[in-house]
Amino acid sequence: DGDAMNENRTTKKPAVGGLVVLLAILSAAILLIVVISAPQSSKDRAPASIDGAALDLPLPTLHEMTREVPVITFTDGEGRKTLLTAFQGQVVVLNFWATWCAPCIRELPSLMRLAETIKDRGVALIALSEDLKGAEVVVPFLEKNGLSGLPVAYDPKGTAARALRVSRLPSTLLIDASGLEVGRFDGAYEWDRPQILELLEELTEAATTPVK
């Protein structure tokens, strides 16, 4: 009988040990859920965002030296062939985008708002579409998304993009009133931010300030 009792005790020990391990695992899981569910302090929260894009974006930096812009041609919103040089005398925000580019689509509303703000300030915005079918796909896309006020032009063969060495979409070039590239930003941005308006104003003022 003594041997039987000892055998029973021996066989029950692993069951008790397994229960202890299971309880430990459940306790750890509950603690993890509590930690994850706990409200974060404002210090630990991620930056506020719109459509997943962080608001604390760096300001586009200007080139140390201005760059020559090759002669490029594109089709304007009315279907006419247009030279970029036609905009000399104005600061130009030249944005390369496409309807199939998700980051481009995120930034288009801010570009449309920027276009409305700068239209009487000596600054031109050109949203240059790289869509192969041009207006055939772009016009319905703009109407569907409430972006009909965006000043769009077309570069369906990518000629302008290649000439300006644009390697990704979206990309935006800042061109001064004399037709030189002064800066560019690769990636989606919020173009109606106050800092951008200040930068464009500085570029416009530089163009109208007499050289002493």
The pLDDT assigned to 58 comes to 75
Dist. CA 207–CA 91, nearest whole Å: 8
Helix H or strand E segment including 184 = strand 181-186
The pLDDT assigned to 25 comes to 52
Sign for the pseudo-dihedral over CA of 110, 113, 117, 118: positive
Find the angle CA(100)-CA(106)-CA(112) to the nearest 5 degrees: 105
Q: What string of pLDDT tens digits covers the 212 residues of the chain? A: 544 444 444 444 445 555 544 555 555 444 333 323 333 332 222 233 334 344 456 777 789 999 999 999 999 999 999 999 999 999 999 999 999 999 999 999 999 999 999 988 889 999 999 999 999 999 999 999 999 899 999 999 999 999 999 999 999 999 999 999 999 999 999 999 999 999 999 999 887 655 45
Dist. CA 5–CA 11, nearest whole Å: 10
Q: b/e map of 138-168 (b: 16 or more CB within 10 Å)?
A: beebbeeeebeebbbbbbbeeebbeebebee
CA distances to 53, 87, 110 from 72, rounded to whole Å, are 32, 12, 25
